[in-house]
Structure 1
Amino acid sequence: MEAQPVGQWLDELASKASTPGGGAGAAMNAAVGAALVSMVCNLTIGKPKYAEHEATMTEALAKAEDLRARALGLAADDAAAFDAVVAAYKLPKATDEEKQARTAAIQAALVGAAEVPLRTAALAAEVIDVAASILEGANTNVISDIAVAASSAKSALESGVVNVEVNLASMSDEQLRKETEARLTEYTPATGRADALIAQVRERLAR
Structure 2
Amino acid sequence: MMFMDQTLEEFIKNVNSKELPGGGSISALTALLGVGIGNMSFYLTEDKKSFKALDDETQQEIRSHVDRLTEIIEELKEKMVEDTKSFDSVLQAYKLPKETDEEKAYRKKMIADGYIIATESPMSSARIMMEAMELVKQIAKYIDKYAITDLLASAYLLHSSMKSVMLNAKINMKQLGDSKKVADEITALEYKSEVLLREIEEVSYKKIGEV
User: In the aligned structure 2, how far is the partner of 1:6 from the partner of 1:191?
Assistant: 32
Alpha-carbon deviation of 1:69? Answer: 0.8
Matched, 1:40 2:41: yes
Q: Which amino acid aligns with 1:77?
A: E
Give the whole-Å Cα distance in 2 for the aligned partners of 1:113 and 1:197.
Answer: 31
Does structure 1 retain, via aligned residues, the 8 Å contact 2:145–2:207?
no
Q: Which moved more, 1:39-48 or 1:137-146?
A: 39-48
Q: 1:195 aligns with which of 175, 195, 198?
A: 198
* Shift of residue 162, structure 1, vs aligned partner: 1.4
Does the CA contact (< 8 Å) of 1:120 and 1:156 recur in 2? Answer: no
CA distance in 2, matches of 1:85, 1:103: 10
Q: Which whole-Å CA distance do the structure 2 matches of 1:113 and 1:199 have between them?
A: 36
Distance (whole Å) between structure 2 residues aligned to residue 119 and residue 197 of structure 1: 23
For residues 82 and 161 of structure 2, what CA distance do their matches in structure 1 show? 15
SS at the partner of 2:175? Answer: coil
CA distance in 1, matches of 2:142, 2:202: 17
Residue 181 of structure 2, aligned match among 175, 179, 182 = 179
Q: How does 1:49-88 map to 2 (within 5 A)?
A: 49-51=50-52, 52=54, 54-88=59-93
Go from structure 1 to structure 2 and tell me whether the alpha carbon gap of 1:191 and 1:72 turns closer, same or farther (over 3 Å shift): farther
How far does residue 199 in structure 1 lie from its aligned partner after superposition? 4.2
Q: 1:120 to 1:191 in 2, by over 3 A?
A: farther
Q: Which residue of 1 aligns with 2:18?
A: 16
Query: Could you tell me how far apart the structure 2 residues matched to 1:92 and 1:204 are?
Result: 62
CA displacement, residues 101-147 of structure 1 (integer Å, 9 cap, x when unaligned): 22111111110011111011111111111111111111222100111
**Gaps (5+ residues) in structure 1?**
none
| Conserved 8 A contact 1:34-1:68 | yes
Count of matched residue positions in the alignment of Structure 1 and Structure 2: 203
Indicate how the Cα distance of structure 1 residues 3 and 64 shifts in structure 2: closer, same or farther if over 3 A, else same: farther
CA contact (8 A) 1:44 1:57 kept: no
Alignment of 1:98-177 (within 5 A): 98-171=103-176, 173-174=177-178, 177=179
Q: Are the equivalent residues in 1 in contact too, given 2:141–2:203 (CA < 8 A)?
A: no
Provide the rounded CA distance (Å) in 1 between the counterparts of 2:18 and 2:133.
32
For each residue in 1:25-79, what CA deviation from the matched residue of structure 2 results, as whole angstroms up to 9, or x when unmatched? 1111221121112211222223333111532431121011011111111111110
1:144 and 1:138 mapped to 2: Cα distance?
A: 10
Q: Which consecutive residues of structure 2, in runs of 5 or more, have no partner in the other structure?
A: none
Separation of aligned partners in 2, 1:191 and 1:160:
15
State the TM-score, normalized to the length of structure 1: 0.88
Q: In structure 2, what is the equivalent of residue 28 of structure 1? A: 29
3-state DSSP of counterpart to 1:139 = coil
Is the Cα contact below 8 Å between 2:38 and 2:153 reproduced in 1? no
